[in-house]
């Protein structure tokens, strides 16, 4: 079956890792009709804006996108393209699966999915400075906004994800002991939602700082974690660090009207064009996209081929301690898929 999707190659190393990813997808037999659009600096140079209307309309039409890393231009007044896309399409669920792939690290057997609320909390951008005694920035304030609706749908998403994917437990992570209103509401709603899954999915809850510590001490105790926007932003990078870094961290931004899959690392302009970037995160994001469109067997083959390339064949890019170029790594994965 051929699927229609928007393709955004991205900035910096984006075009390189996207080319590698498309090569692997083709070897896995994935069939897509791509509507290629621009975003980030490439779009700013071409269309005068980092998020052109044509890109938004394309995603609105396809409801699906694979996106390379985008750079938000500094000093231009433009806000993050990633944030703009989440708001435009109400991509309320950020899903970050992390598994141990590279052998010989501090941890083995890590298999954690973090589900992060993607549209609320402190990241809504309600900020202001309050002048005092002639100092226009004497006081800075930021307002966190959390709604019952937002809490309910992200927690329910996490439990449904657990059911669909054979997961055993959901951990609700919060700071309700201090942030009694915003985090208290998240915990209250989370517990309410969890009752509907009693006997099917286990549940516990944990304060954010305790969670951060326990992830480092023993990540095997976690399965699915659901949390608020900023806490999820921080914990997802910590979890990626347990298995070798952001070069192995895919992400999906999912809503009712659209889903955008991406490598969660930056555009790394310092190594752009050198052919040494690790495409694994984007390849794994493409596998997530295949899961999303009902192509789980192909997604599984891609993940297995990538893992064998790293573990069994010992072919790795520089960030993982190897010497393979971006395309050499991609070609090794495609050989595993042959």
The Cα 32–Cα 51 span in angstroms is 23
Catalytic residue among 11, 35, 175, 291: 175
**Confidence at residue 76, expressed as pLDDT on a 0 to 100 scale:** 58
What pLDDT score does 71 carry? 86
Report the pLDDT value the prediction gives residue 265, as an integer from 0 to 100.
Answer: 95
Check if 313 is active-site: no
Q: Which of 11, 35, 123, 319 is catalytic?
A: 123
Please check whether residue 142 is in contact with residue 127, taking contact to mean a CB–CB distance below 8 angstroms: yes
Q: Give residue for tokens 């979890």.
A: 239
Catalytic residue among 233, 291, 319, 331: 233
Contact 172, 227 (CB under 8 A): yes
List the chain domain ranges: 1-94+246-338, 111-242
Q: Which of 107, 237, 313, 318 is catalytic?
A: 237
Which parts of the chain register pLDDT below 70?
73-78
Do 1-94+246-338 and 111-242 come out as alike in CATH topology? yes
Q: How far is CA 194 from the centre of its chain?
A: 24
Query: What residues contact 289, with CB distance under 8 A and at least 6 apart?
Result: 5, 64, 66, 252, 259, 261
Q: Which residues, 6+ apart, have CB-to-CB distance to 136 below 8 Å?
A: 129
Q: Tell me the per-residue pLDDT of 228-285, one tens digit each, with 9 for 90 and over.
A: 999 999 999 999 999 999 999 999 999 999 999 999 999 999 999 999 999 999 999 9
Question: Does the active-site annotation cover 318?
Answer: no
Query: What local confidence, expressed as pLDDT, does residue 92 receive?
Result: 98
CA–CA dist 41, 70 (Å, integer): 7
Question: What CATH fold (topology level) applies to the domain 111-242?
Answer: Isopropylmalate Dehydrogenase (3.40.718)
Catalytic residue check, 233: yes
Assigned CATH class of 1-94+246-338: alpha beta
Q: What is the pLDDT of residue 105?
A: 72
Instruction: Given the residues 90, 135, 204, 209, select the one marked as catalytic.
Output: 209
């Amino acid at each position: 079956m051929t699927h229609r999707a928007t393709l955004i190659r991205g900035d910096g190393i984006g075009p390189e890792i996207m080319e590698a990813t498309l090569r692997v997808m083709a070897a896995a037999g994935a069939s897509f009709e791509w509507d290629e659009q621009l975003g980030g600096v490439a779009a700013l140079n071409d269309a005068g804006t980092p998020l052109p209307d044509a890109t938004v309309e394309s995603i609105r039409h396809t409801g699906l996108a694979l996106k390379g890393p985008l750079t938000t231009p500094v000093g231009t007044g433009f806000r993050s393209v990633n944030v703009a896309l989440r708001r435009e399409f109400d991509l309320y669920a950020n899903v970050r699966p992390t598994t141990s792939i590279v052998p010989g690290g501090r941890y083995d057997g890590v298999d954690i999915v973090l589900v992060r609320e993607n549209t609320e909390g402190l990241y809504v951008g309600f900020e202001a400075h309050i002048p005092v005694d002639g100092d226009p920035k004497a006081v800075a304030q930021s307002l966190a906004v959390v709604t019952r609706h937002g809490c309910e749908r992200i927690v329910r998403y996490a439990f449904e994800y657990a059911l669909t994917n054979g997961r055993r437990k959901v951990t609700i992570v919060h700071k309700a002991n201090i942030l009694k209103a915003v985090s208290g509401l998240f915990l209250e709603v989370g517990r309410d939602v969890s009752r509907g899954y009693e006997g099917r999915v286990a549940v516990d809850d944990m304060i954010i700082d305790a969670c951060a510590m326990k992830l480092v001490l023993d990540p095997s105790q976690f399965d699915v974690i659901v949390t608020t926007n900023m806490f999820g932003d921080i914990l997802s990078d910590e979890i990626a660090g347990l298995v070798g870094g952001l070069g192995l961290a895919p992400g999906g931004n999912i809503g009712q009207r659209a889903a955008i899959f991406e490598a969660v690392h930056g555009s790394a302009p310092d190594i752009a064009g050198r052919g040494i970037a690790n495409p694994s995160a984007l390849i794994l994001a493409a596998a997530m996209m295949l899961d999303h469109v009902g192509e789980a067997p192909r997604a599984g083959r891609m993940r297995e081929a990538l893992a064998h390339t790293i573990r069994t064949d010992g072919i790795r890019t520089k960030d993982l301690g190897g010497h393979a170029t971006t395309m050499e790594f991609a070609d090794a994965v495609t050989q595993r898929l042959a």
